[in-house]
């Protein structure tokens, strides 16, 4: 699973939560990619056992896919809050940066960041995470 693939999985996860269903075209619109690009990516993810396509083109994450998505999403939130708390940037900027960093950060550093959050609750006071996360 590489950066781009993680973006797809995460987007499917988020759209599922937001709308209750996800089709390829929804992912395409959300990410600003062509339907063709998404179609191919979905094929790859199906081959990797991360999702299935149901009747009517509805995408459903498998157990593995769900797990993967949650892991990425967790990094996403952790990093967004971390950047807002330390760098004091707005939610939108924090999210865009988090969205790129989440694919490349080492597990060790992320772990440290979570520890930092616990040890410095005061810095996190009053930061308002966006109610809804976008994906790019």
Partner DNA sequence: CCAATGGCTTAGCCTACGCTAACTGAATGG
Partner DNA sequence: CCATTCAGTTAGCGTAGGCTAAGCCATTGG
Catalog residues that contact DNA under the rule CB under 7 A.
2-5, 7, 23-25, 28, 32-43, 53, 57
Alpha-carbon separation of residue 53 from 40, 59, 67, 124 (angstroms): 13, 5, 18, 40
d(CA 1, CA 48): 9
Is the CB of 38 or the CB of 84 nearer to DNA? 38
d(CA 68, CA 72): 6
Q: Which of 134, 126, 28 is nearest to 76 (CA)?
A: 134
What does 52 bind: a second copy, DNA, none (CB cut-off 5 to 8 Å by kind)? none
Q: Of these, 18, 46, 100, 134, which contacts a second copy (CB under 8 A)?
A: 100
Is the CB of 7 or the CB of 68 nearer to DNA? 7
Is the CB of 33 or the CB of 82 nearer to a second copy? 82
Partners of 24 in the β-ladder: none
What does 64 bind: DNA, a second copy, none (CB cut-off 5 to 8 Å by kind)? none
* 131 binds a second copy, rule: CB under 8 A: no
Q: What is the 3-state secondary structure (H, E, C) of 2-46?
A: CHHHHHHHHHHHHHHHHHCCCEHHHHHHHHCCCHHHHHHHHHHHH
Choices 29-37, 52-60, 62-70, 100-108; region in contact with a second copy by CB under 8 A:
100-108
Give the interface with a second copy as residue ranges (CB under 8 A): 82-83, 86-89, 93-94, 96-97, 100-101, 104-106, 108-113, 115-116
């Amino acid at each position: 699973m590489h950066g781009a693939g993680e973006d797809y999985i995460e987007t499917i996860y988020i759209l599922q939560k937001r709308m209750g269903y996800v089709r390829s075209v929804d992912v395409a619109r959300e990410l600003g990619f062509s339907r063709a690009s998404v179609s191919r990516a979905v094929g790859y993810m199906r081959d990797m056992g991360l999702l299935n396509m149901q009747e009517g083109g509805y995408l459903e994450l498998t157990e593995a896919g769900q797990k993967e998505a949650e892991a990425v999403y967790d990094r996403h939130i952790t990093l967004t809050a971390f950047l807002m708390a330390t760098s004091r940037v707005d939610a939108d900027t924090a999210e865009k940066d988090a969205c790129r960093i989440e694919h490349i950060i080492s597990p060790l550093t992320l772990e440290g960041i979570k520890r930092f959050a616990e040890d410095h609750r005061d810095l996190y006071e009053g930061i308002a995470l966006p109610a809804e996360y976008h994906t790019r």
